[in-house]
Structure 1
C-alpha cells in the first residue's frame, strides 16, 4: 500500500518526544550530586548540635576565694539619676573587669532619659577604651512603667510614699536580675546608683565571708560647722524584735512595717547603729532584714527563687522582704557593721 512521505517519520518523531520527556522527568526527580551535598549540611543558623550548650550548675562555685577562683560577678544597679562619683567608684573596683558583667535598669521619665544618655556615653567610653578596663558585658534596660516618686532625698524617704516607692523598686530589681543572670554567674552585687564611695576591694571583701547574703553598712559623709563627719544612712539592715513581731500580728494583710520612722517604733536592732570606729571591719552580724545599697548575694539564692517582693510579704517589702524570703528558703543573711560604704549627700 502506498504511504505518503508525510507520515513515514511520525513513529520516530513520537519516540523521540517520549524519550526526551522521560529524560526530563528523570532529571527532575533524581537528586544531583550538588543537591545531595546541600541536604547533608545542617541549617546555617538554626538547629544543629552546635546550637546546644550544656552547663553544670552544680559545679558552679561561689567561694571565699572568688578572686583567685575567677568567679564571675554580676553587678546590678537600678538608676534614676546618674552620678559621676558612682561611675568612677564602679570602674575603680579592682576585681578583674573581665569577670564582671554590669546590668542597669532605668524608669521612664525626663530625668531618667537624661540619666540614660549619660550612662550610655560613659559605657561607650569605657568599653571602647583600653581592653584591661572593659567589663565582660553591659546590659541596659528600660522599665515599662514610670517612677511613681520624686527623686529628691526628702520625697524618697517620706513614710507616706514608702509602700508605692519600694514596690516599684522591687519590680525593677526583679526585672533586672531575671533578665541579666546567666549560667556563668557566681555572685550578684546589688550596688545602688547613689553609692559613691566604697573600698576598691568591695567585691572580694564581701565574698571572703562566703555567706549566701551579706551587706555592708551604708553611711553618709557631711560637713557640720566646717568639720567633716559621718552619719548612719540605711536603716533596712536589722535584727528583729518582739515589738516588731507583735506589731506585725496586729496588722492587716496588706500592711507593711518600714524601719527608721518614729511613727513605727519597732525597737529592732539596727546595724546602722552597731558601727564602732576602729573595730574589725570583718566583724559579722546575723540579720533578719537587709538593705540593698551594697548587697552581695550568691547567685544560687536568686536561682532558688528568692526575689524582691513588690507586695507585703510577712509585712515586709523589697530588700527586707527578700531577706525574709531567702530565710524561708534556708539562706541566712549577714551584715558587716564596721565595713562602711558611703551614700551621695544632696
Structure 2
C-alpha cells in the first residue's frame, strides 16, 4: 500500500527526533520525584536500618502503601534456620562467622595489632566490646574508636564485618585496674561477679543467629599465633582454652616466660571436699597459697620446649577466659557466666561447670600459648 504524500515527504530524522522526545516526555511524567526532601528522607530510613549480620533489622526500610493511606507496611518477619549454622573443624572452608568478645577496661595497642594480624578472614569476624563508665574506661573508649575508625576505613581485607561497643550500666567494684589490685583475694568475689555481669551483657546483646563461634579474648592478650581461630576450631570442641603465659625479664636479665592464668584446671578430691563443707555463698578461688585445692593446673603442666606437641589436648573442669573459644550453640543452650556462687564457682570457672552440667565438654591445650601483657 502506498504511503500518504505527507509522510513520504517527511525527513526520517524528524521521525527519530519525535520518537526520542515522546519517550523523554513519558519518562518525565511517570518517573519518581527527585525532590531533595524525599531523597533525604529515604536516606534516613536506610541509615536507621541495621547494616550488620548480628541481628534482624531494627528499623527496616519499607515504602508507604497507597492502600494504607500513606502508612508504612508492617515490618517484615525474618526467618533464621539455626540448624544450618555449622561449627566445624574447617571454619574458613565452611564460611563460619566468629564473634570475638572483649571486656575492655584499658586499651592496649598490642591487643589491637594482634587482632589485625589474625589470619581468619576479617569479613567473617564480628567484634564486640563492653567498657566501664570510668575515667580509664572513657580513655579506652576514645582509643578504641580511633583504632576502629582507622581499620574500618582502611583496606577492605582488614575490615571487620561489624563492631559493637557497649558501655556498662553499673559501676565496677574496684576503682583501679592495676594488676596488683585486680588479683587481691579480697577483691575476687566482687570483681569477678561484676566481670560475669559484663560478659553476660556483652554476650546476650551481640550473639546473633548467624554466629558459629564465640572467641572470648581479654583486652590484655597482646600476642597469639595469627592462626589462633583456625588452630582452636580444628579440635572441634564445644569449649576450648589455650594456655595463657606472660613474657618477662628474669633475674639473670634474660627474656623468659611464666604461667599467668590459673583458672584452667582438673578438679581434685580435696577441692570437692572443701566445697562440700562450704556455706552457700562461699567460692573457691584458684591460685592463692592459703587455698590449697591440689587441683591439676593446666598452667603447670605445659611443655615449653621447642619440639612440644601444640595439639596435645586434655579435659578440664574449670576454664580461664583470657582466650576461650566456645561453640555458639553452647551459649544458646544457656551456658553463661554466673555472677553468683554456682557449685562454689564463679565467672569463667562457673561457666565451665554450667556447660558441663548441660552436657558439653570442656578442654584445654597445655602446650599452645597465648601471651598476656606484662605490667
- TM-score normalized by the length of structure 1: 0.87
Q: Are 2:318 and 1:292 aligned? A: no
Distance of aligned partners of 1:57 and 1:251 in 2 relative to their CA distance in 1, 3 Å threshold: same
CA distance in 2 between partners of 1:272 and 1:110 (Å): 33
Distance of aligned partners of 1:39 and 1:117 in 2 relative to their CA distance in 1, 3 Å threshold: same
Distance of aligned partners of 1:41 and 1:217 in 2 relative to their CA distance in 1, 3 Å threshold: farther
Q: Are 2:350 and 1:329 aligned? A: no
Q: Structure 2 matches for 1:102-181, cutoff 5 A?
A: 102-149=127-174, 150-181=176-207
Q: Are 2:75 and 1:39 aligned? A: no
Please give the per-residue CA displacement for 1:295-343, whole angstroms capped at 9, x wherever unaligned.
0000000001000000000000000000000000000100000000000
Q: Are 2:316 and 1:264 aligned? A: no
Q: How many residues align?
A: 307
Shift of 1:233: 0.4
CA distance in 2 between partners of 1:132 and 1:332 (Å): 35
Q: Which consecutive unaligned segments of at least 5 residues does structure 1 have?
A: 1-36
Partner of 2:282: 255
Structure 2 counterpart SS, 1:263: coil
Partner of 1:10: none
Q: Which of the residues 193, 212, 220 maps onto 1:186?
A: 212
CA distance in 1 between partners of 2:265 and 2:271 (Å): 11
Q: Which of the residues 301, 306, 322 maps onto 2:330?
A: 301
Please give the per-residue CA displacement for 1:232-290, whole angstroms capped at 9, x wherever unaligned.
00000000000000000010000000001011100000000111123210100100000
Shift of 1:42: 8.9
Distance of aligned partners of 1:42 and 1:59 in 2 relative to their CA distance in 1, 3 Å threshold: farther
CA distance in 1 between partners of 2:259 and 2:158 (Å): 33
Q: Which of the residues 68, 90, 96 maps onto 2:93?
A: 68
CA distance in 2 between partners of 1:59 and 1:208 (Å): 19
Q: Which consecutive unaligned segments of at least 5 residues does structure 2 have?
A: 1-64
Please give the per-residue CA displacement for 1:55-98, whole angstroms capped at 9, x wherever unaligned.
11012100001111110000000000000000000111010000
CA distance in 2 between partners of 1:41 and 1:283 (Å): 67
Max radius of gyration: which structure? Answer: 1
Shift of 1:169: 0.3
CA distance in 2 between partners of 1:221 and 1:230 (Å): 4
Distance of aligned partners of 1:227 and 1:143 in 2 relative to their CA distance in 1, 3 Å threshold: same
Structure having the larger proportion of residues in strand: 1
CA distance in 2 between partners of 1:269 and 1:85 (Å): 31
Please give the per-residue CA displacement for 1:125-149, whole angstroms capped at 9, x wherever unaligned.
1111111110000000000112212
Shift of 1:43: 4.7
Partner of 1:236: 263
Q: Which of the residues 112, 127, 132 maps onto 1:87?
A: 112
Shift of 1:53: 1.3
Structure 1 counterpart SS, 2:290: helix
CA distance in 2 between partners of 1:119 and 1:242 (Å): 44
Distance of aligned partners of 1:131 and 1:43 in 2 relative to their CA distance in 1, 3 Å threshold: farther
